[in-house]
Structure formats: structure tokens, C-alpha cells
Amino acid sequence: MPVGTQGTVKGIRFETLENELDARIILGNTYHLWLRPGIEILRAVGGLHKFNSWNRSILTDSGGFQVFSLTDLRKLKEEGVEFRSHIDGSLRFLSPEISMEIQAALGSEIVMVLDECPPGQADFDFARKSLEMTARWAARSKQKFNELQEAGMDTGFVSECGMRNAECGMENETNPQSAIRNPQLNGRQALFGIIQGASHLPLRRESLEKTVEIGFDGYAIGGLSVGEEKSVMYDTIEFLAPQMPEDAPRYLMGVGTPEDLVEAVFRGVDMFDCVIPTRNGRTGTAFTSRGKINIRNAKHATDSAPLDESCDCAVCRRHSRAFLRHLYQTGEMLAAILITHHNLAFFLDTMKRVRHSIRLGIFGEFRQDFLRQIKESE
């Protein structure tokens, strides 16, 4: 899922995400959208879909990760977390119930429970207290979520026909082109639980059991890719994913590089989000089938090759590394836009190839070839 922190994916138009890259779902940031433009505005305009005109799915995080990143500006207690806005310093309070209310106002298709996000190197006792808090907050999140759904507080996605999603389903069945042009969703938000426990495998199992006992539409692995060794992340996923429910999506939050995606799929994960393709695109780093390219390097000054000769995106079909380097060196905003475009194309195409190889029963071969090409380049 490309990350759309402020309601938009940085450096790329929705038309490109939809028509060329075919991104089916993006991520929105509850914390940032709550602070600005604010829930009153978003509810007044009919929710995030209407506000930003993104007519496909949205997953919103709970806001917890951003709040817990404000180490010196927050105070944690059982009811929730009190913190000061990074924008104006105003005092705010976020609880499981408030997070559910915000996400109902946003009208995202997938809602995340509010969890406590411990640091990657948290010791056993700290991680245990954290996961117990997360479990209690998850139960409160689900209770409030159900109340809001029953009360019709989810702004949801309303189609052009003016009805809730389910009411327009018949039109899409008889006119497939209508469904492609204006995809209909089911009119009810899905709620995902989050598994914590840092790098302590017994705690991960305990958190999983508590979360599954509450019961959710999908299950996320949180608290990874936060500074721990890569091997620790892989070991945790390999231990945890096979134990997660088979009939629900498995979501690895905040990960990662193309290699991470392929390795995590190999270990049983279905869904990912990360700022890497867009953030790195803005700083001149491109991801390719042969590894990363730093477009700022002088060796690209006269290089007429595309970023990736194996890539069929619009940027690689038209522009050379030499031109992209020139744009970056001269401070042209187009440099960030074009490299971001390519990076998102590469990440989404990688996942498309993963899905295709799974359908053909050759994912193991695909994984080996994919990782070998990158390793040989490095």
C-alpha cells in the first residue's frame, strides 16, 4: 500500500496511481488527518474518499505510532495517551474510542485498533506490559467500532449513483466496466487487530492468542522494522505468521524494501505498507531489479540507460539516468516526481509478480531469482 500520510501520496497524482500503476489501496494517517484538516471538516465534506477523491480502498492506521514517537511530548495511562500536537503544541488526548471515532469519520475501508508501540529493543517485562495494554485497548477498540458501525457513523464510500456501496452492486455485475471505473466497496469498515511483543517470541505468541480471542477481520504484525536487526525481523515473522489465522489477511506494518516484501511473503505475510518508495524517491534513490541506484552519483551524468531496463513504467520508457540526475542536481521538483513514480511502479509490479508466481506455483523460483539479481548487483 502506498502511504498517503496527509490524504495524498507524496509526489504522484491519483490518476497515475489508478490508471497506470493500478494501486488498489493506499494508507492514510489518522494522527495527521486528525490534527489537520481535522475531523469536523472531514465529516462535513463526507469523509476522506470525498475529500481527496480517491475512489479505491483506504487503510487508516490508528494514530498510535505517531503519538508514541513523541517521546518527550506524551503521557501514557490506561485510558489512553495525552500528548501535545507537533503543529501548534495544543494538548490532545487519544484513546481507543477516539481513534475509532476518527477513523469512522475518515470512512476508510480498513481500520486499525489503537495499540501501544514499544521500542524495538524493549526488554521482556516492558514488552509484556505493553502487549497487555494493547490487548485491553484492542477489546475497547472493537466494542466502540461495533457501536459506531451500528449507529451509522462510518462515512464510508458513497458511489456516483448516490447509494451505499452494497446497493450499487447489481449495476457492477451487469456492467463490469462500471465496476472498474467506479469500484464499489461493501459499505462496512473492516477492523484489524495488532500483534505486539517486540522481539520476544513467547510474548508474540501470547499477544497473538489474546488478539485472536477478541476476533478481528485481519491481523497485523506491529513493532518490527523499528531498529532491530533484519534477521530478528525475519525470525519473528517466520515464527508468528504460520500461527496467524489462515482465513484472515496478515499485514506487516511499515515494511519495507523489495527484498523484505518477497522474504515476508515467503514467510506467510499478505499485506504491506511503507514510505520507502516515496521518501527515497524524493532523495534521489531508485529501486530496481538490480538493486538501489543513487541518481546523485557522478557516474550517471552521461548514462543514457533507464533506471531499470527491465521496468516498463512511463519513466523508464522515456527518461535516462543522465536526465534524471540533471533534474536532481538542478533542484527541479520533477526529479522527485519521476523517481517516486518509478519506485511505486517497481514496488507494485514486484507484488504483482509475486501474486502471479504464486498462482503458477513457482514462487520459490521467483524468490531465488529476484534476490539473486539484487545480491549480484550489490
The CATH number that applies at residue 22 is: 3.20.20.105
pLDDT in tens, 246-276: 999 999 999 999 999 999 999 999 999 999 9
Helices (H) and strands (E) in the chain, counts: 17, 13
**Which tens digit of pLDDT belongs to each residue from 302-325?**
999 999 999 999 999 999 999 999
Same domain membership, residue 302 and residue 225 = no
Which of 205, 224, 256 is the endpoint of a domain?
256
Contact yes or no for 157/109 (Cβ under 8 A):
yes
Q: Is residue 90 part of a domain?
A: yes
**Looking at the predicted structure, is the pLDDT value of residue 332 above 90?**
yes
Q: Is the pLDDT of residue 365 over 90?
A: yes
Supply the DSSP symbol for 26. E
**H helix runs in 283-332, sequence order:** 314-318, 321-329
Same domain, 362 and 299: yes
State which residues form the domain around 197. 3-154+189-232+243-256
Distance CA 123, CA 134 (A): 16
pLDDT tens digits, 177-231: 444 444 445 568 999 999 999 999 999 999 999 999 999 999 999 999 887 899 9
367 and 249 share one domain: no
pLDDT of residue 157: 58
Domain count, the chain: 2
In a domain, 164, yes or no: no
Residues 172-181: what's their mean pLDDT? 42
Listed range (62-76, 107-121, 175-189) with the worst mean pLDDT: 175-189
How far apart, in whole angstroms, are the C-alpha atoms of residue 338 and residue 334?
6
Q: Extract the C-alpha cell encoding 84.
A: 501535545
| 203 and 118 within one domain | yes
Is the same domain home to 295 and 219?
Answer: no
* 105: pLDDT strictly greater than 50: yes
Determine the pLDDT at residue 186.
Answer: 53
Does residue 264 belong to any structural domain of this protein?
Answer: no
| Shared domain check, 284 and 209 | no
- The band of 164, judged by pLDDT with boundaries at 50, 70 and 90, is very low
Query: What residues are labeled active site?
Result: 61, 273
pTM of the predicted protein model: 0.92
Are 72 and 206 within one domain? yes
Q: What is the pLDDT of residue 285?
A: 98
**Residues 224 and 114 occupy one common structural domain:** yes
Domain presence at residue 268: no
C-alpha dihedral (88, 93, 97, 98), degrees to nearest 10: -20
Q: Are residues 249 and 310 in the same domain?
A: no
Q: Which three cell numbers stand for residue 144?
A: 466502540
Angle between helices 333-360 and 258-266 (to 10 degrees): 20
Residue with cell 541518481: 295
